[in-house]
């Protein structure tokens, strides 16, 4: 029981910090830890991770929105597109063998973390708001289609891809990019968690409760810090969190082969 509490709490810390700082999906951290250390089935672990993501992303989105770092209009456009193309990507994935599932998000997390440290996003909110609204809406649809297709096909990487595209393609200021990302993740995680629970039944309720509470707590802490931090400090903090989490997830994936 003590091991279960420790693993779930530590998983929640990593997932919460990743969500609050960078809009990272909790599934990227919680799933491999539950599978590796508690010998939990992958389906149940992902269901718990997605459920943990819902409240953590929601409270993070609220915090970013309260600080005016959230683009709801384009966030809704991208969210709907992501959901539709995730379903299409999932259908396509069911027709072909997929041996690389999961590895994509691990390396992307590490590379994105290094990117924020080496080449920080210094776009100002004024520059971001000067972009043409219609052009941004069209870009949101196009980017949502790409993100949804890839996530549905390989089953991972949504939060990281959204952050990368929002900052690099759509020209979002970092705080607004993270705020919009967690807003979208709230609904995508809820949809995924509901699907898992309906199809596979309720998971381990104790693990679910500890993961949800721990992830929610640390996501709130990270979001509060992120909204008060300077752009330079936030880039560095986000970069360090992503790089460390990416390395830790990679280690968790290799542990079963080493033991």
pLDDT digits (tens, 9 = 90+) for 82-114: 888 877 876 665 565 544 445 556 677 777 788
Question: Nearest CA to 24 among 136, 160, 144?
Answer: 160
Higher pLDDT, 252 or 153: 252
Burial class (CB in 10 A: 0-12, 13-18, 19+), 156: buried
Are 161 and 151 spatial neighbours (Cβ–Cβ below 8 Å)?
A: yes
- Give the count of domains, the chain: 1
pLDDT in tens, 193-214: 887 788 778 888 999 999 999 9
Q: For the chain, give me the number of helices (H) and strands (E)?
A: 11, 0
How much of the chain, in percent, has pLDDT values that exceed 90? 34
The Cα–Cα gap between 123 and 110 comes to 22
Q: What is the pTM of this model?
A: 0.84
Q: Which residue range forms the structural domain that includes residue 40? A: 2-258
DSSP 193: H
Would you say residue 145 has pLDDT above 80? Answer: yes
pLDDT band at 171 (very low <50, low <70, confident <90, very high): confident
């Amino acid at each position: 029981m003590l091991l279960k509490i420790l693993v779930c709490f530590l998983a929640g810390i990593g997932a919460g910090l990743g969500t609050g700082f960078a809009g990272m999906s909790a599934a990227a951290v919680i799933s491999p830890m539950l599978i590796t250390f508690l010998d939990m089935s992958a389906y149940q672990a992902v269901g718990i991770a997605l459920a943990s993501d819902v409240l953590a992303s929601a409270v993070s989105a609220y915090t970013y929105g309260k600080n005016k770092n959230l683009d709801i209009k384009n966030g809704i456009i991208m969210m709907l597109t992501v959901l539709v193309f995730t379903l299409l990507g999932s259908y396509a994935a069911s027709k072909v063998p997929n041996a690389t599932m999961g590895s994509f998000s691990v390396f992307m997390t590490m590379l994105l973390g290094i990117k924020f440290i080496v080449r920080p996003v210094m776009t100002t909110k004024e520059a971001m708001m000067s972009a043409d609204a219609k052009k941004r809406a069209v870009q949101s649809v196009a980017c949502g289609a790409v993100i949804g297709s890839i996530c549905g096909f390989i089953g991972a990487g949504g939060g990281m891809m959204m952050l990368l595209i929002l900052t690099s393609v759509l020209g979002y200021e970092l705080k607004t990019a993270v705020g919009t990302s967690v807003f979208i993740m709230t609904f995508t995680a809820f949809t995924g968690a509901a699907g898992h629970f309906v199809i596979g039944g309720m998971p381990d309720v104790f693990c679910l409760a500890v993961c949800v509470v721990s992830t929610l707590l640390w996501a709130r802490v990270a979001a509060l810090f992120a909204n008060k931090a300077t752009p330079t400090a936030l880039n560095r903090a986000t970069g360090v969190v992503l790089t460390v989490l990416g390395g830790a997830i990679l280690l968790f994936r290799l542990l079963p082969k080493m033991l």
